[in-house]
Structure 1
């Protein structure tokens, strides 16, 4: 649960100031009364005020500093924190009854401060986490319609849908997009992590354990909690820019964070930011087009191929412009010893990515719509452009009631994306075709109400509560010119038959208990019941235990069941996509799960919840105040996993028409897809985190972090193919589709970070090993390719001119490392006739190469 800056408990008011080892005030320090969930934080002058009894023990914790306990003996209590390992910091996720330090937590948690995030040198939160948390992955996508603007992210290799994202402990809305293109996370729905600006974040807590029993649907892989800033010491302005060593991908960003605080403990933190990036291009240069059978010496198009060896392609990161506004506020009220609070924000961004280039021998422009009359026709490259709006808002109150800490809140969140296809034509419309098309839009919103209670009863901590949630998904058709008679080249618009206005609601109740049987042994449990209006109910539970090794660490373990409700998107999404395969252009239809064609015609069952079993066991050990280690094993089994099928088309038998082919004929498409609960997976892995700080080295101090994740996912049993399709010999989830689950993300990732401080200088050297990934051919194992593991080196240099002005220079991917290149291995579809030089259907770390960055920070 999120802790606000409130006054709790009766008796006396305790005041003080918290400083670091150089006597500088520390704003944002977490202060918790031990054994309770009551607490506060320091303001921008390092001051705090809390109501406590004599004899109460206060826990002071701050990212990058060693936590400290102090006993209340009067009305004044000043504290000095010493630099230390983040492993001791108090975190809010993990259970619903009280916060704990990572060292004491019965489940594995990462606690990452803003400085650690920005020292990765990455521009957005999803990329920062990729280079900070070994089990988290997100990379740029390309030539993948709207997926290129969202970049699927996942935890522990379990897909984007199975990680719950919170902001200040409250559920964040999902994005409006289903990733339906051939990328990692295909068929899944995630949270738009680009919609949360890093400048607004105090820290990020990553719970690497199943938590459905505490937080509900989606928390199978774990929970990411974004904790926003409150009071800050200074107004801070950051400006940054960068460009690749290839001369493209220029980026620029600026953000501001400030706060107002009141004498009574109220606060208002405000963040505004702007970021933009230009495209990169790393297309292949085959000089011929085997996909269409046009060779370099072609008598008609040979000259064009010589002048355009890359076939006109643009393959790389998309263009992006983004604006953020966020706030976090609280007003204490003395009478009930609580506070009113509110937080939220708005993100607006525009993106431009690129489709396959329409070469002169592929699509003609006879009416000179995209080229001037009398000039030689060069073809055209359609652009796929998005307008994305993400807004969320939470308001609530916390107070004391009969010795219970009570939290009542309401949350609204919405994500919307509008699509345009530009620089393209609908050939069937001839001279009347537009060149810019509105091709449709999606929105998703959620409205929540939460009521939570918690209380400390000595050796027992209890929490219970309820949640009511409503969800809404809409799909809007594009303009008629975008979809009629074959539609616009690259992405036929959504049709009126694809329009959706779908809603559902659910309610959930939970209870959480922790009991310290003896000083060393803590046991806990949680249970949650949820009921959904569209598919039914689910009960999840969890048990955990922690045996304390004193101030040295703990042995811990947990077992839980979990679930994930199929998203509204997966139930109701339908559209038509243009496919290119072996020189053949075709239209593929996605049918939603409530369509009679799917449910009655093909016998596909109603989508229902995925269920999971999650076990973890580990140890944390603190060798001394500077050196700590945690090691955790996990195993996650997911049953009835929702998947997006592969292409289901004509079987090649021209003598008869089977029921599936009749559906294709009736709908004027060449293949179809749908969502279905059809696969069971088993994921096992190990997480290792080692921190060693304050190593004396010359006149400075060195900190070192080694973090690693090793994982493997297997598909168990048979694919659950509906009987009608099985009887007609269809494989609904072929080897290529399976590889997106089992091998599209690295099975190992190792981070070695070195942080050296000397005088006004700070040097950060990060080495990240991304393990191998494997692309599987749909039918022919001999055409598979494994892309070897690579090490990405990042260097960041900070110089502090004074307390209020500093500068940063960094090199991301310093050694200009690229993935292995694609080998066609007899199948030109693998790289689309040489258009793709680097892998796109599986992904390790992207393929931009080296980026040089610079930035300055002003405080006032």
Structure 2
């Protein structure tokens, strides 16, 4: 109880400091989580050359390649979430495609409100839009796991709004992955690990008269993961470089289901239970991390043509094949056909993702201007095969595997930027001026599956109702759902930065953009920094920003047929422009609008640094996916508008307003301990609170009695309480001669898994996850490491039977550190 009060007090003081006097503002700031990065030059958030992490007007974290390497996970998102308290990477399961492409969040915001850059150029998003009940529902975000850690030199995370500098999506911040530029050297790495874990069970009682009982706990060894990666630097001409990286990853699934207490088979003629009830496997779900195999290639190159002209470029390709489960269909389930699956079946969703990109550019000098022009293209395609399933409406002749179609997103971006410094009388430094333009074309394609994956085959159930059409767990996309849409945007910006006095640094930026599909947007930013001394500096910013609606949100559509009282109805995720959605009150999507304010201070007591950064982010008209609108009065209203046979659906709409307040705290202390070696010690924490202040309504639905709710309490509480209220990490990196070690403790604050009613709300208490790794340099080139992520095998609380009626989901999808338990691994690195 005392800890809870203390955390609330810290949050309250931080928020108060954001809007109080300048004296109090001296207690707020931000800086890198890497103690060695204080003098590292950054390029994110500033266009001034040679600006270091501690000298910027906005907080920038720098994550080194070694930090990314010295963890058990080889996923970029997971490695970043372990390094940054402000970044979260929940790991939902039984969420269709989201099991395969899991989104990350910054400062508790939506996944698509963080802009991802590679070498300061916009990275393309994934084609997947999250439509199931998990963090990030309704968003389509960049999949950073398409970028292998081996190609990354460092990651810069700007924890500040930056729409005026970089354009759409940069509401909560910017993640910039900077690639290696090595002309020589390289490293090969082999990592192998597995989950060695035990978790408790909390299951419902068996049916009356049943003799099967559930165990109290369960031991598992699974999730075996092997990763082989290589990077190599090659000389390109006299002073050019070609750095290539390759990675292969093979991940077995983890399975954390509960014990299914339900009756599985029909009773015998004498009323007794079928003897197979005692032999069937009741751990019948794939609830955990998916089975996954992926191969990635990445190359980064640059060369000097002479005369101040340089060429650069990079290209990537990844193929990912995954398999994850849906909900188990028991043998006696009406959706089963016993002649095909006498013991029931677990349908499997098997996506294949192909992701590739290529960017090329040139820099040159034009008078006093440093010019940069680039053209980049990226495409992400995701297509589905549904395995171990059936189309119940076809009957015993149904196939058991179906091609269900999929979707693709592509992006073409042209950038032209000029930067120069100008001596201006009265200023204490040259005025740095950056001007530029960006033209972007985005496309979204949705393609249909084979007919048997979605069609109704005419079969009727024993009770006389028609059988459900389409492949069980994931009906295929239909020809009527197919989409091939494109949009474009063009923008221009001006960015200026200078010291008005030796102590006062001021920067400003203005950006205007025009979109073909929703209109215009203008964003501005003003930030400043005042150095009272080398030890104490204040900095702050105020800005407005925007996030344009994505093509995925504007064009995704899917249809399934539901029979209501024997009558077929089409349940659809409608495009906002669809006539049915318009009849329900949908409008063309507009940009989300934000206002960000922050105050901070940098306190340097070499080598000891303490920083705090307080922020407030107000967002209007957030784009959300509505509730499923299938009530009888909605169906009747749709029919009255002339749309016969439509059973309701959902659609994307603007209309949610939120306020997010928080504080980031970082303490870093590199220590020299003589004969005991050296330790880089960091303590960092993020405290965030989000409130929903408005939800969308439409006049059409408000006129119905009772009026359906477009965005109900479950989704409201997901935004407010679905991510940790606080996340605190302590990290120590020790080195002594050939020995090295990393120890990390991360405390995740409490999280709510919301229900449709207060009685179904489920709180998960705070948990501390400890990661350790020891390293030994056998030779100057060969290093061996042994470690454990989640050493003490922490799990979130087990859901009660009322929330886990099937036994398939003992842990909530909102668990911030997943629910796969301890991961033990070994790694060998060989440099050359």
State if a TM-score over 0.5 links the two structures: yes
- Which deviates further from its counterpart, 295-304 or 321-330? 295-304
Matches within 5 A, 1:480-491: 480-485=451-456, 486-491=469-474
In the alignment, structure 1 residue 454 sits paired with structure 2 residue 405: no
Distance 2:531 2:525 in 1: 20
Matches within 5 A, 1:807-826: 807-824=784-801
Distance 2:272 2:507 in 1: 74
Aligned to 2:121: 170
Aligned to 1:124: 75
- Contact 1:87-1:628 within 8 A present in 2 as well: no
In the alignment, structure 1 residue 383 sits paired with structure 2 residue 366: no
Deviation at 1:661, TM superposition (A): 6.7
1:483–1:301 Cα change, 3 Å: farther
Aligned to 1:10: none
Deviation at 1:540, TM superposition (A): 0.3
1:627 to 592, 608, 611: 608
Deviation at 1:777, TM superposition (A): 1.8
Distance 2:268 2:701 in 1: 42
Deviation at 1:658, TM superposition (A): 3.5
In the alignment, structure 1 residue 573 sits paired with structure 2 residue 573: no
Cα displacement string for residues 396-424 of structure 1 (whole angstroms, at most 9, x for unaligned residues) = 10011111110011000111101110111
Matches within 5 A, 1:17-32: none
Structure 1 unpaired stretches of 5+: 1-62, 66-83, 371-376
- Contact 2:416-2:437 within 8 A present in 1 as well: yes
What SS does the aligned partner of 1:837 have?
A: coil
Aligned to 2:826: 854
- Which deviates further from its counterpart, 724-733 or 429-438? 429-438
Deviation at 1:235, TM superposition (A): 2.0
In the alignment, structure 1 residue 536 sits paired with structure 2 residue 519: yes
In the alignment, structure 1 residue 755 sits paired with structure 2 residue 733: yes
In the alignment, structure 1 residue 514 sits paired with structure 2 residue 520: no
1:364–1:390 Cα change, 3 Å: closer
2:713 to 726, 735, 738: 735
Distance 2:800 2:403 in 1: 37
In the alignment, structure 1 residue 607 sits paired with structure 2 residue 589: yes
In the alignment, structure 1 residue 701 sits paired with structure 2 residue 678: yes
Matches within 5 A, 1:440-479: 440-458=405-423, 459=429, 460-479=431-450
What SS does the aligned partner of 2:322 have?
A: strand
Question: How well do the aligned residues superpose, as a CA RMSD in angstroms?
Answer: 2.5
1:343–1:650 Cα change, 3 Å: same
Aligned to 2:379: 414
Aligned to 2:576: 593
1:405–1:185 Cα change, 3 Å: same
Distance 2:370 2:157 in 1: 24
Aligned to 1:744: 722
What SS does the aligned partner of 1:146 have?
A: helix
1:640–1:165 Cα change, 3 Å: same
Aligned to 2:482: 499
In the alignment, structure 1 residue 282 sits paired with structure 2 residue 251: no
In the alignment, structure 1 residue 144 sits paired with structure 2 residue 126: no
- Which deviates further from its counterpart, 427-436 or 387-396? 427-436
1:366–1:705 Cα change, 3 Å: closer
Deviation at 1:311, TM superposition (A): 5.7
Distance 2:628 2:267 in 1: 29
1:272 to 243, 246, 252: 246
In the alignment, structure 1 residue 831 sits paired with structure 2 residue 819: no
In the alignment, structure 1 residue 397 sits paired with structure 2 residue 362: yes
Distance 1:694 1:580 in 2: 68
What SS does the aligned partner of 1:447 have?
A: strand
Distance 2:297 2:356 in 1: 10
Distance 2:752 2:141 in 1: 23
1:805–1:364 Cα change, 3 Å: same
Aligned to 2:223: 249
Deviation at 1:549, TM superposition (A): 3.9
Cα displacement string for residues 34-91 of structure 1 (whole angstroms, at most 9, x for unaligned residues) = xxxxxxxxxxxxxxxxxxxxxxxxxxxxx999xxxxxxxxxxxxxxxxxx63233111
Distance 2:718 2:276 in 1: 36
1:766 to 744, 749, 752: 744
Distance 2:71 2:667 in 1: 18
- Which deviates further from its counterpart, 699-708 or 844-853? 699-708
In the alignment, structure 1 residue 680 sits paired with structure 2 residue 645: no
- Contact 1:85-1:628 within 8 A present in 2 as well: no
- Contact 1:483-1:493 within 8 A present in 2 as well: yes
Distance 2:666 2:265 in 1: 52
Q: TM-score, normalised to structure 2's length?
A: 0.87
In the alignment, structure 1 residue 548 sits paired with structure 2 residue 531: yes
- Contact 1:288-1:309 within 8 A present in 2 as well: no
Deviation at 1:324, TM superposition (A): 0.7
What SS does the aligned partner of 2:441 have?
A: strand
Matches within 5 A, 1:92-131: 92-131=43-82
- Contact 2:192-2:225 within 8 A present in 1 as well: yes
Matches within 5 A, 1:322-401: 322-335=294-307, 337-363=308-334, 366=337, 368-370=339-341, 377-401=342-366
What SS does the aligned partner of 2:411 have?
A: strand
What SS does the aligned partner of 1:194 have?
A: helix
- Contact 1:703-1:755 within 8 A present in 2 as well: yes
Distance 2:176 2:248 in 1: 23
1:607–1:367 Cα change, 3 Å: same
- Contact 1:288-1:295 within 8 A present in 2 as well: no
Higher relative contact order (CA 8 A, sep 6+): 2
In the alignment, structure 1 residue 439 sits paired with structure 2 residue 404: yes
- Contact 2:688-2:726 within 8 A present in 1 as well: yes
Distance 1:854 1:784 in 2: 40
1:455–1:771 Cα change, 3 Å: same
Alignment coverage as a number of residue pairs: 755
Structure 2 unpaired stretches of 5+: 1-31, 197-219, 424-428, 457-468
- Contact 2:260-2:284 within 8 A present in 1 as well: no
1:465–1:427 Cα change, 3 Å: same
What SS does the aligned partner of 1:802 have?
A: coil
Aligned to 2:426: none
Deviation at 1:141, TM superposition (A): 2.0
1:657–1:471 Cα change, 3 Å: closer
2:169 to 209, 212, 218: 218
- Contact 2:155-2:177 within 8 A present in 1 as well: yes
- Which deviates further from its counterpart, 337-346 or 257-266? 257-266
In the alignment, structure 1 residue 644 sits paired with structure 2 residue 625: yes
Distance 1:194 1:298 in 2: 56
What SS does the aligned partner of 1:429 have?
A: coil
1:451–1:580 Cα change, 3 Å: farther
Deviation at 1:744, TM superposition (A): 1.3
Deviation at 1:306, TM superposition (A): 3.9
Matches within 5 A, 1:59-98: 85-98=36-49
